Amino acid sequence: MPSPHLRDLVERYWIPVWSLPEPSTQSTLQHPVCLVVVSNTYARFYGVVRGRSSVTLEGDGWAVGTMLTPAAGRLVLGRSVASVTDTHLDLGQLPGTDADALVAQIRRAMADDPGSPRAHTDAVVATERWLTAYLPVDDAGLLVNDLVAWVRDHPEVTRVDELARRAGLGERALQRLVEQRVGLSPKWLIQRRRLHDAVVALKAGVGPGALADLSIRLGYADQAHFTRDFRAVTGLTPGEFARDQLVR
């Protein structure tokens, strides 16, 4: 968990350490936030990925990841995060604060024993010291944090006009705000929440026979629309995804 003074900037940290005899590819549906990842071989700022985001791990390695809040991406990048949707930058390309110094501090902390709690604590402390320069979060950033959390926590929200009312903005102003801070549209925010909820349900064991009910629960008009959206993002139909979970 981030320190209290950084909760408007940071959702969470994750620090995987691996030793693999063969390459392993992991895929996820990214949340509507930017990421900062420093590893033993690269240091990057990631925009939001519309489809599945994948990473291949191999050999021995580690990474120190920071999931930013929706507000934080634009503050760190210094411009609209729409410019990095579906892509990434080396941290050294960021404006302002000394990202190269951050990378050096993290790699020094993780060098001797990347699995140790002390190494993880030191890496997070270095990250938080670097991020403090981006405080305070502006009012537009706080608003977009609230909107994204509201969509996440209220599965009954299925229309952009509901989100606009929550924001107290017209739909065009909402579109500009979300594009600047998240890199995509308000409609995409709602769709991504639906797909995250679908993945959770399918992993929990919703069988192919229950997919029509799941479609309705997620706010789709019918199963065909749900299947289309799910396949466009994951490459699998919901039924194929559910069957894949059974053989894992």
Do 147 and 48 share a domain, yes or no?
no
Q: What local confidence, expressed as pLDDT, does residue 246 receive? A: 57
Do 159 and 125 share a domain, yes or no?
no
pLDDT band, residue 221 (cuts 50/70/90): confident
Domain's final residue, options 134, 154, 171: 134
Residue 224 corresponds to which tokens in the numbers above?
């065909």
- pLDDT above 70 as % of the chain: 97
Given a cut of 60, is residue 18 above it in pLDDT? yes
Given a cut of 60, is residue 248 above it in pLDDT? no
Given a cut of 70, is residue 95 above it in pLDDT? yes
Given a cut of 80, is residue 209 above it in pLDDT? no
Domain's final residue, options 83, 105, 134: 134
In degrees rounded to 5, what are phi and psi of residue 35? -125, 145
Do 129 and 30 share a domain, yes or no?
yes
pLDDT band, residue 219 (cuts 50/70/90): confident
How many domains is the chain built from?
A: 2
Given a cut of 90, is residue 239 above it in pLDDT? no
Tens of pLDDT along 35-78?
999 999 999 999 999 988 888 999 999 999 999 999 999 999 99
- pLDDT above 90 as % of the chain: 76
Domain's final residue, options 91, 106, 134: 134
Helix (H) or strand (E) segment spanning residue 88 = strand 88-90
Do 171 and 215 share a domain, yes or no?
yes
Do 130 and 42 share a domain, yes or no?
yes
Do 73 and 104 share a domain, yes or no?
yes
CB of 170 closer than 8 Å to CB of 146: no
Do 157 and 114 share a domain, yes or no?
no
CATH of the domain at 144: 1.10.10.60
Do 123 and 151 share a domain, yes or no?
no
Do 79 and 149 share a domain, yes or no?
no
pLDDT band, residue 245 (cuts 50/70/90): low
Q: Which residue has the higher pLDDT, 245 or 138?
A: 138
Residue 91 corresponds to which tokens in the numbers above?
């941290």
Q: What local confidence, expressed as pLDDT, does residue 168 receive? A: 97
Given a cut of 60, is residue 145 above it in pLDDT? yes
Given a cut of 60, is residue 28 above it in pLDDT? yes
Mean pLDDT of the region 220-239: 89
Q: Helix and strand tally (H, E) in the chain?
A: 10, 6
Given a cut of 90, is residue 83 above it in pLDDT? yes
Do 107 and 206 share a domain, yes or no?
no
Residue 191 corresponds to which tokens in the numbers above?
């769709």
Do 159 and 230 share a domain, yes or no?
yes
14-18, 99-103, 161-165, 201-205: range with lowest mean pLDDT: 201-205
* Helix orientation angle between 223-234 and 186-203, rounded to the nearest 10 degrees: 90
Do 160 and 126 share a domain, yes or no?
no
Q: What local confidence, expressed as pLDDT, does residue 36 receive? A: 98
Tens of pLDDT along 179-208?
999 999 999 999 999 999 998 888 888 765
Helix (H) or strand (E) segment spanning residue 56 = strand 52-68
What residue numbers bound the domain in which 21 lies?
4-134
Q: What local confidence, expressed as pLDDT, does residue 208 receive? A: 58
